Amino acid sequence: MYGQDNASDRGPGDHGLRVSLSEIMHTRTLQVPKIPARVRQWLILHGDEDIARLGDWLHRVSQGRAAQGASRFTVDEDDMHCVWEAHTEFSTITFVTTEASGRAPPGDSSWLRGMPGEIFRSVEILIGSRTDFDWEAEACFDPTRIVSSLAFGGVARIWSDFTIKGTEAGKILVEDLGLQNDEASRLVQTLLEIGNYRKLALLGFPVARDLMPWITAAEARHAKITERMNAPSGNRAEILHELLDLSAEVECRAGRARFRLGATSSYHLLTRDRLSALREARLPGYSTWSDFIERRLLPAMRTCEISQSRLDRLSERINRTASLLSLEQTVALNKQSQASLASMNRRAMVQLRLQSLVEGLSVFAVSYYIIGLLDHLLDPLLQLGDVERLKSAALGVIVPLVLSGAWIMSKRRRLRSNMPVPSELA
């Protein structure tokens, strides 16, 4: 009944991940509450040993407010919004201040003292109208490198030259041409992620560039090993040893480079995804962000892809060569086994013939012994009269019978032991 509170009558309960998975949709968002505003972000790369120390640093700077193992921590004040986020191999710290508050975000990284890791990128974004900041984009950037386009379907114009002047942060200007609702927040976050993922993708380029000469030398070594395999006089044991050494080196190099090159590919895809989300419109006389970044990023990414592809193909060729060498050794071993079996079979046949011969002789020996016994048994009869002829006739009849009986007994014994009989002796 409806009034009963039995466990079997209750409806389904909430899934344990219902709330947390729903909140994931909002955990990576950046809030720009008012325009005009200034945004300053630092990207810090962390090594394996830095990850363990990062939690202690966050606990200290947050004065214990950050949860243990947290990947995001925010501080919201009336005039400032600060966000710290941890990712796989880096973390970001972002300050957002409104221009009306008169408070600017930190201009240097001195307050990051004690944080494990290395600063990999620092950028400042100004978002508002030209009168809000009294700027002239041409004066802020290098005219020969300036990149500008309309974003989000024309509701904003973005400027940058992608340069760092000394130890200063890179600068991006966003001119408000009609931003509404959360467009300012989404645009700022998209620009930050484009720059972060673009630069993180380039981490794989030095690895791939240094890997190329080694791959060329390794391919030449593999070609020489293959040529030696074709030579009839090649020492197979020595060839196999060299091939194993080369395979170990290739796998070691691939293991060290695989994560970096794989991360580079992922960061490149994220960069292109964020560039598509920017929905740019071209302005006469300027390159768009997509044109500028892809023109400079694609060659490096192609180098990474080619090095990864060459390394994989080299590993596959070494495996095929090892398989061929193993097959050759297997065939040689099979031939040796067949020769050994044939030799063993010949020796067994010789032994069987000898055994058959011995058994044949044993038939005559047993028969001779039995006939000798019968002869002794017939001797007393000689004392009874002249029966010499009778004895000779009896022995003449007994000898074939004894031989036949001995032969039959020998054959039955062989049949019971399942011993094959050579055809010439059957």
Q: What is the pLDDT of residues 276-285, one digit of tens each?
A: 999 999 999 8
d(C-alpha 209, C-alpha 264), whole Å: 13
pLDDT above 90 covers a percentage of the chain that reads: 28
Residue 377 sits in the same domain as residue 292: no
What is the reported pLDDT for 59? 78
Residue 95 sits in the same domain as residue 158: yes
Residue 217 sits in the same domain as residue 316: yes
What is the reported pLDDT for 219? 92
pLDDT over 90 (residue 290): yes
CA angle 369, 370, 374 (to 5 degrees): 120
| Residue 226 in domain | yes
What is the reported pLDDT for 203? 94
| Residue 99: domain span | 31-186
| Residue 249 in domain | yes
Residue 310 sits in the same domain as residue 362: no
| Average pLDDT of the segment spanning 58-86 | 79
Which of 186, 212, 232 is the endpoint of a domain? Answer: 186
For CA atoms 404, 409, 415, 417, give the dihedral sign.
Answer: negative
Range with the lowest mean pLDDT among 42-46, 81-85, 283-287, 362-366?
362-366
What is the reported pLDDT for 144? 82
What is the reported pLDDT for 115? 84
The model's confidence at residue 23, banded by pLDDT at 50, 70 and 90, is: low
pLDDT in tens, 56-70: 788 777 777 777 777
Residue 36 sits in the same domain as residue 169: yes
Residue 236 sits in the same domain as residue 136: no
| Average pLDDT of the segment spanning 148-173 | 87
Residue 225 sits in the same domain as residue 94: no
The answer to whether 260 and 272 are in contact (CB under 8 A) is no
pLDDT in tens, 203-230: 999 999 999 999 999 999 999 888 888 7
The answer to whether 246 and 219 are in contact (CB under 8 A) is no
Which of 153, 186, 219 is the endpoint of a domain? Answer: 186
pLDDT above 70 covers a percentage of the chain that reads: 81
Residue 165 sits in the same domain as residue 236: no
DSSP sequence for 48-86: HHHHHHHHHHHHHHTTT-SPTT-SEEEEE-SSEEEEEEE
| Residue 327 in domain | yes
Residue located via tokens 């080369």: 246
Range with the lowest mean pLDDT among 43-52, 224-233, 347-356, 366-375?
366-375
Which of 309, 338, 367 is the endpoint of a domain? Answer: 338
- Mean pLDDT, the chain, rounded, equals 81
Residue 66 sits in the same domain as residue 142: yes
Residue 144 sits in the same domain as residue 236: no
The answer to whether 119 and 168 are in contact (CB under 8 A) is no
The answer to whether 239 and 228 are in contact (CB under 8 A) is yes
What's the number of domains the chain is made of?
3
Lookup: tokens for 82 = 């600060």
- Of 28 and 50, which is predicted with more confidence? 50
| Residue 10 in domain | no
Residue 182 sits in the same domain as residue 53: yes
Whole-angstrom CA distances from 378 to 41, 86, 332, 368 are 128, 116, 68, 15
Residue 104 sits in the same domain as residue 227: no
